Amino acid sequence: MTMFRELYALAMTATLTMIVSADEKTGKLTISVLPKPRKDMGEPALTKDLTLTASPEDFDAGFVAALQGYREVRDSLTEQAEATREVLEAAKSVSAKKATEAMTKASKSATAAQPAPSPTAVDATDDEDEHGAADRQAATPAPGESLALFG
């Protein structure tokens, strides 16, 4: 494959930035390929850049192969990330289903365990007995006091 075909294949999954710099003293180039994954492929492992330093002749001989290897690893990581996402989504779905079933079962058990109201139960009227009025007064804190809820 040619360099631009490899760059095209890589750019299908990410926006690429390339930085090229030359060191005059050593006669070497440094090329960095910096991917920014697309929204649907936002895995942190896929943001690792490819930075290579070599002579121009070495780049001529091996840059396309280096790009290809980098792209293949990224593709593999993307596939692994997608497989992991699918497993997690399936586990989440199963967990939610189990929780719903448990809540339904608990709700049915609680409903069955509640006794029916007694037909002889006496409704409260406007006439309060002296204990009811005293209890309500004790439950209302005086100004500046707090209500002790747990003892």
Report field, pTM of the whole predicted structure over 0.85: no
Task: With cut-offs at 50, 70 and 90, classify the pLDDT of residue 29.
Answer: very high
Q: Nearest-5° angle of CA 74, CA 75, CA 81? A: 85
Place of tokens 């997608």: 82
Averaged pLDDT for residues 55-60: 94
Decide which of 11 and 76 is more confident.
11
Task: With cut-offs at 50, 70 and 90, classify the pLDDT of residue 5.
Answer: very high
Write the burial class of residue 52 (CB in 10 Å: 0-12 exposed, 13-18 middle, 19+ buried).
middle
- For 94-109, letters b (16+ CB in 10 Å) and e give eeeeeeeeeeeeeeee
Task: With cut-offs at 50, 70 and 90, classify the pLDDT of residue 28.
Answer: very high
User: Which tokens belong to 29?
Assistant: 């180039």
Return the domain boundaries, the chain: 3-83
How far, rounded to the nearest angstrom, does the alpha carbon of residue 3 sit from its chain's CA centroid? Answer: 36
| Confidence at residue 23, expressed as pLDDT on a 0 to 100 scale | 96
